[in-house]
Amino acid sequence: MNRFPLLDPKGIIGLDERNLMIVAAVLMLLVVIPVYIMAFVIARRYRAGNTGREYRPDWGSSWRYELAWWAFPCAVILVLSIITWQSSHALDPSQPIASPAAPLTIQVVALDWKWLFIYPQQHIASVNLAVIPVGTPIDFEITADAPMNSFWIPRLGGQIYAMPGMATHLHLMADVPGDYRGLSANFSGAGFSDMTFTARAESAGEFTAWAAGIAAATTTDPALTAPSFEALAKPSTAVAPVFYSSADPALYNEIVKQYVR
Amino acid sequence: MFGNLTAAAFEHNWIVNAAVASMGLALVGVAALLTYLRRWRWLWREWLTTLDHKRIGVMYLVVAAVMLFKGGVDALMMRGQQAVAAGAAQGYLSANHYDQIFTAHGVTMIFFVAMPLVFGLFNLIIPLQIGSRDVAFPFLNAVSFWLFAAGAALFNASLAVGHFAATGWLAYPPLSELAYSPGVGVDYWIWCLQIAGIGSLLSGINFLATIITMRAPGMKLMKMPMFIWNALGTIVLVVFAFPVLTATLGMLFLDRFFSMHFFTAAAGGNAMMYVNLIWSWGHPEVYILVLPAFGIFSEVVSVFSEKKIFGYASMVAATAAITLLSFMVWLHHFFTMGAGADVNAFFGIATMVIAIPTGVKIFNWLFTMYKGRVHFTTPMYWFFGFVATFTLGGMAGVLMAVPAADFELHNSLFLVAHFHTMIVGGVLFGLFAGFTYWFPKFTGFKLDERLGKWAFWCWIVGFFLAFVPLYILGFMGATRRLDHYAASTGWQPLFIVAGIGAVIIAIGVLFQLAQIVVSILWRERYRDTTNGDPWNGRTLEWSVGTPVPVYNFAVIPNAAERDPLWEAKRRGCWPPKENPAYEDITLPRNSAVPVIIAALGFLFGFGIVWHIVWLALASAAGIVAALITRSCDNDTEYVISAAEVERMESQRMESRLQKP
Amino acid sequence: MNSGTTINDEKRYFGFWAYLMSDCLLFGALFAAYAVLRGNVAGGPAGSEIFSLPFVFGETLILLTSSFTAGLASLAAYRGSKRGVLGWLTATFALGAAFLAMEMTEFTRLVRSGNGPQRSGFLTSYFTLVGTHGLHIAAGLLWMAVLIVQIAASRSLTPKMARRVSLLGLFWHFLDIVWIFIFTIVYLMGVM
């Protein structure tokens, strides 16, 4: 299971989504398995060489049978529809996760071809490494200064598009510490295959220490300002993690708004 | 003089050079063969300028076969790349080249393989099944085909001159906008689809008019064969959906050519509008492809079970429901846009609802076999392959129709596996079944059954080997369109299995090729000796002789019953005892105008792609001039006299009696 | 199967209606794009700042009149009156050309004042929607011109020509209806 992030999630959202998939698949099997069995049995029983079987060439309709297979899929789909309606609302990515812990906001900018994470509460930023505290709901605010991408950490839950000029929200939470693979799921050009990042879930204490360390390292880590962002935004591939000891608090909104003007 | 076209457009890497060279060699080879056999005149008169729907149908199939080869090579190259490109090994293709290949693969398979297979079969079958001598507008029909061919030619030209789009087959902006794709690739993409798409739209209008106004006397709507019902659903979708594609491509073109702002990131464009528009064409397109396959299976299952189709009225209702619903589900292609829970849930449920009529169809097919006599011919093999794959793919589809589940599956290889299951297992298997089924109608001999079944087994085994790993890879978090990946993901073994699957499918294609060649070479062995009705058919196309005469029906049949031929045979009034009263038959003359229009259309597209404005303008003017010339031509038809029809019919009878 | 028989007419009329329906969807897509982009002025002018309602109202009256004369041409075609068809078609052509000239004037004025289609998403969608209608009008005028010459050159009005006049009339009425939507949605609602 270690290699199957979708089946072995490490966060509440991912877990709910996996369970949903299993329920839906089982419901579908209620239709699929009878179809497989019927196809096999009927074809075998009524093969041309199998003489002695009843042959009714004009038998072309039956209220009872037809009603049955309009009604049966209808029933299955009805159940699925209810599940769909409920799960769409319960797992709406823009909806905050109910939790006693105060949520952490991380602003995500998809760039050609790397991910920028701005921590507005910590006033720091990082590229291609998102450190998050375990057990804390994370509100990812997502945009792009590049073609459309899709922000996805499979082990924590589903994806959402990152689009220039627009801001989407994705609420996720990690329950177990670990390094999780994050990536762009929507093709965005030549460097797309390397547009991956690490989502590192640590304990709340470790996270605070990490953020403080970055903020303190003013000599090694530059500040994220409009000019340094512009330099960063230029296309580059397979970028190793970069850290910014401070981040312009207005930058994210400016990135979103630059296209709306 | 040459716009943006410079010598650099002809510089490629060795793989592209090899492809271009083989394309050139193939063209030269065909030309040489035609010259050697002195067949140029024959080609021009009998084929290129023909307005006969049957020949146009055959030409569609030929182009589709050629393009299937190209799309198949693309697929093998991608499978090869992903099988090796793990970790430090970046594979043998550059990222940009790989991106062009997957874009081209999608475009090829949807627009230049599946669409022409569908329209080819429509041309061959629809007029015959509805008891008509022609389509409604034979000239327009030829124009449609040739525009499609011009689009295909422009697409292939991108390989030799310049490059193709590297954006994915639907070219989402802003990636496809000038800011991120400055080359000619996206322009080629726009214009090859625009030209071919207009051909498809015109075809749709033509076949809609054909089915509505040209059915044989007695053939009320509820007497139409199931294939015709499905064709009707298809072309209604074409007529309603393709204008949206035309408009959307036009907008992207305006953005790129005139720096407008429909979909740009800057200056008030809206890229998500493109995604909405393109899928409000794109989702109906899926059903444009699969409905004809449903129609084929309805014919095939009924004929090879020697039993009438079960639940005809249910089938019609299901077809109509699918046609209607297919316009209401486009948003399920981008639940991850963040439209909100209500919108997502609505479109998710609408999507699942389509599974109901589809399920009804499958049950009806199964019950058509029930209490019938099932003959395990190759078309039936394809049907069983379809049931096995399509239900699996449908299950995956419903899974992804649940928005919250789709967040985890969207854009992954699970999605890729899903739609290949639908399009290979649904569309392609259906079209293969139809091809095998109707082949003897137009050639006078059947296809070899044994080779056909070998091809089937290769396809089905190869299919599961190629795509089950992709379903699994989806659960491993593998996305589509990766030209390489980290070794730590552990994906490589599955990619290798998928590659082996692709090779087995390729072997299946070779068997199909062998099947056709063997059947042609030893055609006497496969000769249909049954007066054009080798399968004990039920519908009107099997009532005319083989090969089908140019006028289809010497006498327009009466079709007051479903399965008119079957009923006539059962009543013992088929074949007819006495000679019918023949009448004069009017048919369209050949015309070179469609070929000329398409050639100019190609030049127009090429001119626009490379910003050679004079060429584009001159070609457009040429098209207008050709149309005006045609409108002034009052001599577009010829008459076969009743006496001549009688002579031709009796000659056909004699030649058939002489055969062993 | 002869060109003059009724069945042929039925399929031609049906086919042409099917074409008009598909064209309707093309305009539908452009209207949708306009509806989405009309607020995206990107710092440029909104519709109320650049539209001249009286001018456009004049355009509308001219097009409506041309639709009327096109109807009269169709009626003349039913009567088999060559002179009537020629006269009314010529009138329609003149009115259509005047409409197109006015539209070109308006476009030129906008482009000259720096408000061309490249200015903003709104203007892009505006020019495309109205321009596509104008392109249809231009195509209709070309069709009309060819038909006028063909009819003038022939000895009498053949059934084929009469049918073309009537189909052209359908096309022209269709463009008229599309224009009414443009007038209402783009101009009236734009100014309000």
Q: Which domains does chain A have, with CATH numbers?
A: 12-90 (no CATH), 104-257 (2.60.40.420)
Percent of chain C with pLDDT over 70: 96
Residue C43: closest CA among chain A residues belongs to which residue?
Answer: A261
Bridge partners (DSSP) listed for residue A200: A131, A179
pLDDT band at B572 (very low <50, low <70, confident <90, very high): confident
Q: Band of the pLDDT at B634, cuts 50, 70, 90? A: confident
* Residue in B306, B366, B489 closest to A42 by CB: B366
Whether B147 maps to a domain, the answer reads yes
CA atoms in the 13 A half-sphere facing the CB of B165: 29
Which one, of A259, A249, A250, A231, lies nearest residue A163 by Cα? Answer: A259
Q: What is the pLDDT of residue B414?
A: 96
pLDDT at C1: 36
Amino acid identity, residue B550? Answer: V
CA B388-B393-B398 angle, to 5 degrees, is 130
Binary contact (B180, A61; C-beta < 8 A): no
Distances (CA, A) of A75 to A79, B326, B334: 6, 21, 27
Arithmetic mean of pLDDT, C167-173: 95
Residue A100, amino acid? P
Hey, which residues 232-261 in chain A have their CB within 8 Å of chain C?
260-261
Q: Is the predicted pLDDT of residue A188 greater than 90, yes or no?
A: yes
Closest CA relative to residue C136, chosen from C99, C175, C98? C175
Residue B500 lies in a domain: no
The residue type found at A237 is T
In angstroms, rounded to a whole number, what is the distance separating the alpha carbons of residues B307 and C87? 63
Cis peptide upstream of residue B564 (ω within 30 degrees of 0): no
Tokens representing A206 are: 């470790």
What is the average pLDDT value for chain B, to the nearest integer? 93
Which tens digit of pLDDT belongs to each residue from C25-34?
Answer: 999 999 999 9
Q: Nearest CA of chain B to the CA of A211: how many Å? A: 28
Taking contacts as CB-CB distances below 8 angstroms, the residues of chain B near A25 are 395, 399
In the block, which residue shows the tokens 């308006």? C106
User: Quick check: is B483 in a domain?
Assistant: no
Q: Report, as an integer, the average pLDDT of A97-119.
A: 94
Mean pLDDT taken over chain A: 93
Q: Chain A: nearest CA to B117, how far in angstroms?
A: 27
Which of B335, B427, B590, C11 is CA-nearest to residue A161? B335
From B314, which residue of chain A is nearest by alpha-carbon distance?
A66
CA-closest candidate to residue B299, choices B227, B222, B383, B357: B227
pLDDT at B369 over 60: yes
Q: What is the mean pLDDT of residues B221-225?
A: 95
**Chain-chain contact of B384 with A80 (C-beta, under 8 angstroms):** no
Q: What is the largest CA-CA distance in chain C?
A: 60
So what's the pLDDT on residue B660?
A: 43
Within its chain, how far is the Cα of B641 from the centroid?
37
Averaged pLDDT for residues C162-171: 93
In chain A the first and final C-alpha atoms are separated, in Å, by 48
Chain B partners of A89 at a C-beta cutoff of 8 Å? 341-342, 345
Strands A104-111 and A138-144: parallel
Mutate to test the interface with C, among B126, B133, B242, B273 (most CBs of C within 10 A): B273
pLDDT tens digits, one per residue of A204-259: 999 999 999 999 988 888 999 999 999 999 999 989 999 999 999 999 999 998 87
pLDDT tier at C2 (50, 70, 90 boundaries)?
very low
According to DSSP, the β-strands at A246-247 and A223-224 are parallel
pLDDT, tens only, B309-356: 999 999 999 999 999 999 999 999 999 998 889 999 999 999 999 999
Domain that holds residue B252: 1-269+547-660
C-alpha distance from C72 to closest chain B C-alpha (Å): 23
Q: What band does A261 get if pLDDT is binned at 50, 70 and 90?
A: low
Q: How far is CA B11 from CA B14, B20, B26, B163, B198, in A?
A: 10, 11, 21, 10, 31
Neighbours of chain C (3+ CB pairs under 8 A): A, B
- Shortest Cα distance from B111 to chain C (angstroms)? 20
CA angle B484/B490/B496 to nearest 5° reads 65
- d(CA C51, nearest CA chain A) in Å: 22
Q: Compute the distance between CA of residue B646 and CA of residue A124 in angstroms, rounded to an integer.
A: 91
Residue type, B590: N
CA B324, CA B240: separation in Å to the nearest integer?
A: 11
Cis peptide before B382 (omega within 30 of 0): no
**pLDDT band for position B656 (cuts 50, 70, 90):** low
Question: Between A4, A61, A88, which is nearest B341 by CB?
Answer: A88
Residue A46: pLDDT band with limits 50, 70, 90: very high
Q: Place B657 in a pLDDT band, splitting at 50, 70 and 90.
A: low
Q: Across the interface, which of C1, C15, C42 has its CB nearest the CB of B137?
A: C15
Which B-chain residues 287-306 have CB contacts (< 8 A) with chain A?
Answer: 305-306
Q: How many domains does chain B have?
A: 1
C98, burial (CB in 10 Å: exposed 0-12, middle 13-18, buried 19+):
middle
The SS3 call for residue A183 is strand
Write b or e for each residue in C49-70: b if 16 or more Cβ atoms lie within 10 A of its Cβ, otherwise e: ebbeeeebeebbebbebbbbbb
Which chain B residue has the Cα nearest residue C44?
B267
Domain ranges of chain C: 7-191
pLDDT in tens, B412-458: 999 999 999 999 999 999 999 999 999 999 999 999 999 999 999 99
Q: What is the mean pLDDT of residues C148-164?
A: 91
What integer pLDDT is reported at residue C8 of this predicted model?
Answer: 54
- In chain A, count of helices (H) and strands (E)? 5, 13
Q: List chains adjacent to chain B, taking adjacency as at least 3 C-beta pairs closer than 8 Å.
A: A, C
Per-residue pLDDT tens digits for B484-504: 999 999 999 999 999 999 999
> Model confidence at C4, in pLDDT bands (50, 70, 90)?
very low
Question: pLDDT at residue B659 above 80?
Answer: no
Nearest CA in chain C to B588: C1
Cβ-in-10-Å burial (0-12, 13-18, 19+) of B381 comes to buried
Instruction: Supply φ then ψ for residue B482, to 5 degrees.
Output: -95, 125
Supply the ipTM of this predicted assembly: 0.95
Contact assessment for residue B564 and residue B557, using Cβ atoms and an 8 Å cutoff = yes
Task: Give the pLDDT score at B203.
Answer: 96
pLDDT attached to residue A152: 96
Q: Which residues of A touch C43 (CB under 8 A)?
A: 261
- Structure confidence at residue B650 as a pLDDT band (50, 70, 90): confident
pLDDT at C7: 47
CA atoms within 13 A of residue C161's CA, in its CB half-sphere:
28
Predicted pLDDT at A260:
64
Chain A residues touching B300 at Cβ < 8 A: none
Please report the DSSP string for B252-308 in residue order.
Answer: HHHHHHH---SS-SSTT--HHHHHHHHHHHHHHHHHHHHHHHHHHHHHHHHHHTTSP
Within-domain flag for B475: no
- Scanning B593-632 for CB atoms below 8 A from C yields 624, 628, 631-632
Residue C167 distance to chain A (closest CA, Å): 44
Q: Considering only the top CATH level, what class is C7-191? A: mainly alpha
Half-sphere exposure at residue C46, Cβ-oriented, CA atoms within 13 angstroms: 9
- Does residue B543 surpass a pLDDT of 70? yes
Chain B contact set for A147 (CB, 8 A): 172-175, 180
CA A65/CA A46 separation, integer angstroms? 18
Share of chain B above pLDDT 90, in %: 87
CA distance B483 to B465: 20
Question: pLDDT of B84-129, one tens digit each?
Answer: 999 888 889 999 999 999 999 999 999 999 999 999 999 999 999 9
CA–CA min distance B69, chain C (Å): 33
pTM of this structure: 0.95
Q: A164 phi and psi, to 5 degrees?
A: -65, 140
φ, ψ dihedrals at B497, nearest 5°: -60, -45
Pairwise CB contact (< 8 Å): B242 & C22:
yes
What pLDDT sits at residue B350? 94
Q: Which three-class secondary structure state does DSSP give residue B558?
A: coil
pLDDT band at A52 (very low <50, low <70, confident <90, very high): confident
- For position B4, what pLDDT does the model report? 87
Round to the nearest angstrom and report the end-to-end CA distance of chain C: 54
Residue B357 lies in a domain: no
Who contacts C57 (Cβ-Cβ below 8 Å, separation ≥6)? none
d(CA B68, CA B512): 12
